[in-house]
Amino acid sequence: MATGKAPSSSGLVFFTRNSSYVRKVSVVAGRIRAMEDTTELGSGQLDAVLDVVAVMAAEARGGASELLDVVARIDGLCDRLGAVRMELLREAELVGESGLSVAERLHATNRVSRSSSRRDVRLAHDLANRFPVVARAWRDGTVSEQQARGIVAGLKHLPVVLSPSQLESCQADVVAFADRLDPDELRKVAQRMAEIVDPERAEEREAERIERDARIALARRSLVVVPDHHGSMLIRGQVPVADGELFLAQLNALMPSAASYQATGEVPDKAARRADALVRLCNMMANCGRLPDAGGDRPQVLLNLDLEALVNGLSAGTVLASDEPISAGEARRLSCDAHLTPAVLGGVSEPLDVGRAHRFFTKAIRAALVVRDQGCVFPGCDAPPAACEAHHIKPWWAGGDTSIGNGILVCPYHHRLVEPDPSRSAGVQWQILIDPTTGLPWFIPPRHIDPERIPRMHHRFLLKGISPPTPDVDAQVEKCATPADLVPSPAWHS
């Protein structure tokens, strides 16, 4: 079997056997032994590591999956080097040499901004003194740099003061989610740790924070519209969350689809289409003062609020589309001119199960789906409720009911993806199951995506404090509708 050998310019030698992705990389030992100074030795070893990475990148072949695997390995190495960098920054700070601070010396290299250098030094201090569990997880590669920063940011803004043992326990709990949640999601989970440690005080402090933020947001409201003297008007401003959500709901209802621009040959991004929606909104209000329906109803802000909070004003509410909290006072203001829909199991006047009587989902059922799903429930999708369609898990034409137990919200793209096809086997299609315990949807992937077909759930339910159990895969799959079940019902022909 032929074997080739090629030296690199830095003394590295790598071997390849045929064209397979197998190589051995070694550093000439004499080069390192010749280095007497520790700094020179360390620098030479780092250069050798970079040479190895360069060889990996140069020899990487295959499709996107293989190339991204190499990218992931490089990212992992960079993350662990970042953890070592934090430790060195902390050590430099402890030395306490006179003159410029560590942050100022770091900025003097001109490789980082002044704000970044200060932020990194603060993070190095926090990791060493308050978050050692996160520091170790970062150092051993369990979490990435961005994940570590997200966890620390979340834990630093807890509304309660934790003891060292409580803080260490919270760190370990959040780090355990690192393989399932991204940095932003980990930050949110970290912020929820106070609810576990001290739920009563956490709720009280959180309500106080939301009220304070609401007062500040109202005081800072502004809108500036000025010409840029180059043919455009610049619009810049900020409003409280509730008002902003109402404004956004109108824009989303009027936003043209990307396909509507095909005739013009233009391919605008979402920001451009939202600008067109704003112009359309102004024109419509000037002409007739009416807006089109969105998702089967007029454009609106959906608010999740406990009855006790509405009556007594003791806690805050949540805007469903963005998951942003609003104060109890703001929630009561919105409720003065709103349709109030019970979201426990539905009131007598607004049933959440219309069986076979209606093919399309009623407004009450759709509202209940929005309360439960809060957007597209396909794992990883962030489409808001206004951009989603109600989907029958078992199709209506195959005898499925129009009910919340047989419905989910999905965006148009994922709606097409999960729509069952009776002509194909179950193993090559996505299947959906409503968990009988939590009432939440599971997605069972086709075998070409996951041979074991492990059910998946959207991360937003984890962020809500729901910890889905590990299901019996075979038992769950058996509960899903199979292609044999998907036959047109007599009602379809009638």
User: What's the pLDDT at 140?
Assistant: 93
Output the pLDDT for position 127.
Answer: 94
CA distance 488 to 396: 9
| 294 DSSP 8-state letter | B
- Side chain identity at residue 454, one-letter code: I
User: What parts of the chain have a pLDDT lower than 70?
Assistant: 1-44, 159-160, 286-324, 328-359, 464-494
The answer to whether residues 56 and 73 touch, using CB atoms and an 8 Å cutoff, is yes
Would you report the helix, strand and coil content of the chain in percent, each value rounded to 5? 50, 10, 40
Per-residue burial over 186-200, b if 16 or more Cβ lie within 10 Å, else e, is bbbbbbbbbbebbee
Q: Give yes or no for a contact between 422 and 409, defined as CB atoms under 8 angstroms apart.
A: no
48 three-class SS: helix
Q: Quote the pLDDT of residue 493.
A: 38
For position 426, what pLDDT does the model report? 79
**Nearest-angstrom CA–CA distance, 417 and 391:** 11
Domain boundaries, the chain: 60-197, 233-287, 363-493
Strands (E), 69-108: none
Beta strand extents in 192-339 (DSSP E only): 222-227, 233-238, 303-304, 317-319, 324-326
Cβ pair 444, 453 in contact under 8 A = yes
Strands 303-304 and 441-444 come out as unpaired
Q: b/e per residue, 238-274, with b = 16+ CB within 10 A?
A: ebbbbbbbeebbbbbbbbeeeeeeeeeeeeeeeeebb
Element (H, E) at 127: helix 114-129
Q: Which of 35, 48, 45, 46 is nearest to 8 (CA)?
A: 48
Can you tell me the distance from the alpha carbon of 274 to that of 236, in angstroms, rounded to the nearest whole number? 14
Q: How big is the chain by its Cα radius of gyration, in Å? A: 28
CB atoms near residue 419 (< 10 Å) = 13
Average pLDDT of the chain? 75
**Cα–Cα separations (whole angstroms), residue 426 to 414, 435, 441:** 17, 19, 18
Q: Do the beta carbons of residue 303 and residue 317 sit within 8 Å?
A: yes
Contact assessment for residue 428 and residue 421, using Cβ atoms and an 8 Å cutoff: no
| Cα within 13 Å of Cα(228), Cβ side | 7
